[in-house]
Each structure stands twice: as structure tokens, then as C-alpha cells.
Amino acid sequence: GNQKATRLENSQGKKSQHAEEAIFYMNCRAAYLTVLKSSLENIKSKEQLSLVLQQAGRNPSQKTINKYWTSQTSSLNFDDFCAILRKEKPATKNELLEAFGKIDTDKAGYVSHDELCKILTTRGDKMTWEEVTSITKQADFNCNGKLDYNKFCELYLSTREQCCKAARDRLETDPRLRQQHFGNQTENVPEGTTLPLSKHSPRASRKTDHKLAKGDSRAPSRPSSAQSSKASTCTTVTVGARSSRNTKLIIEPDTIKEWQCAQSRGCFYLEENGEIISHKYRLHLPQRSALWITIKPFSIPQAQGKSCHWLSVDTALFILKENETQENLQLVSFTELQNKEMFGWRGELGSGIYWLLPFTTGCRLRKEKTQIPGEAKLVWRDEDGELALTKEFRAALLDIFETIDLDGNGLLSLEEYNFFELRTSGEKCDQEAWAVCKENFEMKKNELTRQGFLDLNLMEANDRDGDPWDLWVTLLSLGYNRALEMTEACPFVIDICAERCKPRIKAISLEAGGSQLSRALCRSVLNKGEAKVLDGSESIFIHTYRSGSRITSVIENKSENKVIIHVNNEQSKNCLNNRGLTVFAVEVAPKSMMVSQHVMALNEQEEWIYSCVHSLV
């Protein structure tokens, strides 16, 4: 019993240590990427070193800088910077008060302006009178020209924390920097650990800035020749053109017409920061049964004949078993069989509750770079001056209706409508508000009709006297561009057929896959993929798995130390990956695994070659 308690205590201690390490490295990256373009770029001068240390909440003296930047130093890399931060701890409030206390010999809690100026210009790293004046103008001097240094220390510490937080927030919200945010798909974040990352509400950013994101999010990559690798391994996979692609085909069971089926629609939405969110589902099986489960992009009836960008987006579905708690989910399987754009799974499941987590790699669902020359018109006024929806906007709204009508019955329930509301406004409609809708808009069986949905949007236009701003907020949040094309969303449809019972599927949330999906993804690659040990290292493995039209690689770090792996795709041909980078690096925490990259064909009608070198930096 004592041994078990000791092991539990040690395990919890390691989890806490790993959590502290994760937070430490995240703060290091945030500060580093505030000054430099990439974590692979080196610090090249004393001035850069001083600046990046300040961004990490340090206030280095010239003596400190000279300690780490000697006459033999030509550059410092990210690891060197992390090592310096471990040694150079930020000043605490007690240390600051102690320093001021040496000046304030009377222990009055104040320092005079003249005395402070004299010390700053004559001791240590001597400052000029202009620099001192710029500081004292911002400091809190009382009417007698004295500084309340206790308040000053509080101001200094809060300002330092605000600077560090701003760096972390920038790391999370800048798509270019997210490409350099190592370990953001790490598989084993310790339980009970909350990393200080800023959260993005579905619509908060769009409510304040509803312009389309522009520009290329790809970060400049460092040439492979600049790396000094300790160990490496190369993986090459050649895939034929689509017509001759060797994939496991999904075939309907012969007796499928006699099985009981359930269906639900859903959608992948691309966030401003490049993150992908989607509906998540709970599946209930009343008894053990053979199952046939598929997912594919949803071909909207009204959209036929239009350019449907989303139909080429890859989709997959991970099936997880719910045990004692929702947090304790176990991977059962995933849709690895393929028939054109459809992915499926056949097998048998016992009775109980299962979770279905939709997934797309992000290779084809990514921020649009094409500039839209004009803006589609959403409303117009008739001869009587009454507002009306344009033909193009009506068509887009009807497509949206099909997407958010999750059960496909041609009507919107309050639950379905609330997914729409959460996505577009971040709020939910309660029963009382729904009753008001029922009085003003067409409903059937307490569900909103297509015409009612159109009239609801027309009312929104009337509320703003024809100003389409709110309407554009809705459209942009649902993945439409200014030409009314859905380019940053992918609607999909899930079909479940059971041989011996009636399956029930229900959409539970609309959010990012998170750690549950990351764990399931990593585990699926380890279970099905090919493993290679990194040459020269016994504890780092590269797992590669091809599932239909995609290749996924996972890095597994079994060592007690974090590692940085350099990834080079320069020899690949006709490929695109989810990171948008040919050369990049990822940091893998101790005793963990993470997705290195997802890769697909740029042009499926031609042969493509995945050739990737993973190297230990």
C-alpha cells in the first residue's frame, strides 16, 4: 500500500513537472517569436538578446548580456535562450523592495526624485538624464516630488506580466506564428493542467473586425543546410494517380436495406487563427450490433451547378467509447475505408454510449488567399422602397439552411437553430425568444421553416435600415467570402446503419477537437502505421500511416527530455501539408507523442511522392 501511494505521488509529481515545463517553453516561444520570425532563427547580436530577454519579462543589465554574449559568440539559438531564462530568474517584488530599501534609509516608503536620478545616472548601467526623465514622467511621484516605490513595484510587475501575456496572445492569434508554435498538438497534456492560452470566442473577433483575412500565412522556413542534426530518418511513400490509387474500398453490406439507419449533418468551420471546429456527436446503441458508419462532404441540393470548394475536403470520423466519464474516452476505431469522397468503417459494437469526432486534416480547408475584387449585394429596395433579399443572398441562405438542418427534415428545431446562433453571434436563443419567433415567422411543429429563416434575415436587414454589416458577420462566420462562395467551411453528412437495433445520433457541441481528438489521431497512427526509430536515437520513433488519400506522421518521444525535431519535405513532389511549410520544426515534450504533419496530393490526377526527413536538432 505504501509502495502504491509512493508510485502515485511520484506520478503526480512528474505530471506537475511536465506541466511546468510546458508552460515554461510556451512562454519562451512567445517571447522568442515576438522578436524573431522563427524558432529556427538564431539571435545574432547583443541588442537582439537584450530585446528578447525583455520580452520574456527579464530586465538584463549590460553585465548580464556580456556574460552570455562573449567575444567568441556569433549567435545563440532557441535552446540557448531557454537555458539563459532558466538561470536568469525575473525579479520578485521582495527583491525590488529590498533594492529600494537600500536607498530609503529612513524606511519611509518613498524615494525623492533627485536621489533617484542621481543613482540611475551614476551607478550600474548608467542612464542619461533624458532616459531618466522619460521614466520619472510615467512614475507615480507624489506632490512632494517623491516616488511611492511600493506602488511603483506593483506597477512594474503588472506591466511585466501584461507584456508576457501580450506575447502569448499574439502567439495564439497570429496564424503565421501558430505554424511555429511547437507542440500545439501534443498528445498527453497532464490532467488538471490549464495552460495560459487565450481562448477565441466563435464570433468575438468578427464582431469587432469583420473584414476578410488577407495575405499568406506561410512563415519563412530555414534551409535544411542550416541544421546540425544528431539523428535522422527518411520516409518515402509513392502514391499513384487517383484512377489507380490503391485504397481499401468501403462496400455496403448486402442486407443494408433491412438495417435501421440514422443520419446527421454537420460542418467544419475555419477560425480566424486557422483552427478548425466542428460538431461533435453522441451515439447510443441499445444493444450489440454490426454497424456501417460513413462520413462525406455534403452535396447541398441547391448548390448543384455552382463551384463547391468543400467537396474536395478530406473527412474522417473517430469512434470513441464512453466509459465512466466523458473525459475518459477510449479509441475504438476510425473511418479508414474509402470510396471516392466517402470514408467509412464496418464492424461490431456493444451496447452503450459512443462519441463520434469528425476530423479533417486542414490540407484543403485553409484560409483563402484569393483577393475578391468586389462585394456581392445582399439586399435591394423595390418600387415601394421596401427592402428585399437579392436572389444571390436568398440562394446562399437556403444553402446555409440545408447545412444547419442537422436532421435533414426541412425544418430548424430550437436546438439546431442554437448551433447557428452560437456560431454567428456567440449567444443562444431561449424558449421565450423562440416563442417570439413563432409569433413573427413561419413555423411548423414548433420548428422554423425555410421561409421563416429567410424572413428572419430580412428582419435583421430592416433593423439596420438596409445596412448589410450584420448579415456579412453571419456569412463570414459560416465560411462565406464576399462573393457569396463557401470557401472556409465544409458541410458533411454522417450515416449510421445498424443490423440489430435502432442507432440514435445527437449533435452535442460545436468546438475544436481538442486533446480527445489529438489522442485518438495519434493512437490510430500508432496502431495502424509503420514505425521507424530515429537513426542514432533509441527513444524517438516516427510513425507513418496512409489512410486513403492522406498520409499522417506522428512523433513519439519516449525519453525523459523534450526534443526538437526538424522536418524536411523538400524532396516531396505534388504534395501539400496542413502546416503550409516545406521545412519546419516541432518540439515534443517528454514521454509524449504529437502529430508531425498531414500530407495529401496537390493534384490527385497525378502521381505524388511523400519524402520526408525527420532529424533531431
The predicted pLDDT at position 38 comes to 76
Instruction: For residue 63, report the phi and psi dihedrals to the nearest 5 degrees.
Output: -65, -40
CA distance 230 to 565: 10
Least confident of 304-308, 349-353, 563-567, 581-585: 304-308
pLDDT reading at 73 higher than 90:
no
Q: Which three cell numbers, joined as nine digits, stand for 68? A: 552570455
CATH code for the structural domain at 15-90: 1.10.238
In the chain, list all ranges with CATH 2.60.120.380: 256-368+491-515
Q: Helix, strand, or coil here: 508?
A: strand
Q: What is the CA radius of gyration of the chain?
A: 29
Q: Helix, strand, or coil here: 386?
A: coil
Distances (CA, A) of 246 to 279, 293, 334: 31, 21, 19
| Amino acid present at 174 | D
Strand-strand pairing, 146-148 and 342-349: unpaired
Q: What angle do CA 24, 7, 321 make, to 5 degrees?
A: 80
CATH code for the structural domain at 232-246+516-616: 2.60.40
The predicted pLDDT at position 174 comes to 64
CATH code for the structural domain at 95-169: 1.10.238.10
Q: Which three cell numbers, joined as nine digits, stand for 436? A: 417570439
Contacts of 340 (CB under 8 A, 6+ apart): none
On average, the pLDDT of the chain sits at 82
The predicted pLDDT at position 118 comes to 76
Residue whose C-alpha cell reads 439507419 in the numeric block = 261
Tell me which fold the domain 256-368+491-515 belongs to: Jelly Rolls (2.60.120)
Q: What is the mean pLDDT of residues 29-47?
A: 85
For domain 379-486, give its CATH number from 1.10.3720.10, 3.20.20.70, 1.10.238.10, 3.30.1360.70.
1.10.238.10
Q: Helix, strand, or coil here: 4?
A: helix
In the chain, list all ranges with CATH 1.10.238.10: 95-169, 379-486
CA distance 205 to 252: 44
**Between residues 509 and 107, the one the model is more confident about:** 509
The predicted pLDDT at position 111 comes to 81
Bridge partners for 448 per DSSP: 412, 443
Q: Which three cell numbers, joined as nine digits, stand for 48? A: 537582439
Q: What is the mean pLDDT of residues 590-595?
A: 93
Contacts of 205 (CB under 8 A, 6+ apart): 272
Q: Which three cell numbers, joined as nine digits, stand for 585? A: 520544426
Burial 375-414 (b: 16+ CB within 10 A, else e): ebebbeeeeeeeeebeeebbebbbbbbbbbbbbeeebbbb
**Between residues 163 and 588, the one the model is more confident about:** 588
Bridge partners for 110 per DSSP: 148
Bridge partners for 43 per DSSP: 76
pLDDT reading at 153 higher than 50:
yes
**Tens digits of residue pLDDT in 95-117:** 888 888 888 877 888 887 777 77
**Tens digits of residue pLDDT in 309-341:** 888 899 999 999 987 665 678 999 999 888 888
Residue whose C-alpha cell reads 499522417 in the numeric block = 552
The predicted pLDDT at position 326 comes to 59
CA distance 141 to 111: 9
Q: What is the DSSP letter of 351?
A: S
| Amino acid present at 190 | P
The predicted pLDDT at position 140 comes to 57
**Tens digits of residue pLDDT in 359-383:** 999 999 988 777 778 899 999 998 8
Q: Helix, strand, or coil here: 236?
A: strand
Q: What angle do CA 176, 179, 181 make, to 5 degrees?
A: 110
Asked if 521 contacts 496 with a C-beta cutoff of 8 angstroms, the reply is no
Asked if 604 contacts 549 with a C-beta cutoff of 8 angstroms, the reply is yes
Asked if 247 contacts 65 with a C-beta cutoff of 8 angstroms, the reply is no
**E strand map for 224-328:** 231-239, 260-270, 276-285, 289-297, 316-322
Instruction: Find, among 578, 178, 553, the residue nearest to 362 by Cα.
Output: 578
Instruction: Find, among 300, 481, 477, the residue nearest to 403 by Cα.
Output: 300
CA distance 593 to 558: 8
Q: Helix, strand, or coil here: 491?
A: strand
Cβ count near 504 (within 10 Å): 13
Q: What is the mean pLDDT of residues 66-72?
A: 88
Asked if 588 contacts 612 with a C-beta cutoff of 8 angstroms, the reply is no
Residue whose C-alpha cell reads 544528431 in the numeric block = 230
Q: Which three cell numbers, joined as nine digits, stand for 142? A: 507624489
pLDDT-derived band at 128 (thresholds 50, 70, 90) equals: confident
Asked if 545 contacts 528 with a C-beta cutoff of 8 angstroms, the reply is yes
Q: Which three cell numbers, joined as nine digits, stand for 259? A: 438495417
Instruction: Specify whether the backbone of 18 is left (phi greater than 0), alpha (psi in -120 to 50) or beta.
Output: alpha
**Between residues 394 and 203, the one the model is more confident about:** 394
Asked if 222 contacts 42 with a C-beta cutoff of 8 angstroms, the reply is no
Share of the chain above pLDDT 70, in %: 82
The predicted pLDDT at position 253 comes to 83
Instruction: Find, among 264, 296, 282, the residue nearest to 360 by Cα.
Output: 296
- Give the highest mean pLDDT range of 187-201, 212-226, 471-485: 471-485
Q: What is the mean pLDDT of residues 129-155?
A: 72
Q: Which three cell numbers, joined as nine digits, stand for 609? A: 511522392
**Between residues 29 and 126, the one the model is more confident about:** 29
Q: Helix, strand, or coil here: 614?
A: strand
The predicted pLDDT at position 612 comes to 95
Contacts of 94 (CB under 8 A, 6+ apart): none
Least confident of 120-134, 241-255, 423-437, 472-486: 241-255
**Tens digits of residue pLDDT in 217-253:** 333 333 333 344 468 889 998 888 764 444 566 678 8
Least confident of 110-124, 197-211, 505-519, 522-536: 197-211
Least confident of 38-47, 270-279, 439-448: 38-47
Burial of 51 (0-12, 13-18, 19+ CB in 10 A): middle
CA distance 608 to 239: 5
Least confident of 1-5, 171-175, 221-225, 397-401: 221-225
pTM above 0.85, yes or no: no
**Between residues 41 and 182, the one the model is more confident about:** 41
Contacts of 68 (CB under 8 A, 6+ apart): 49, 76, 80, 84
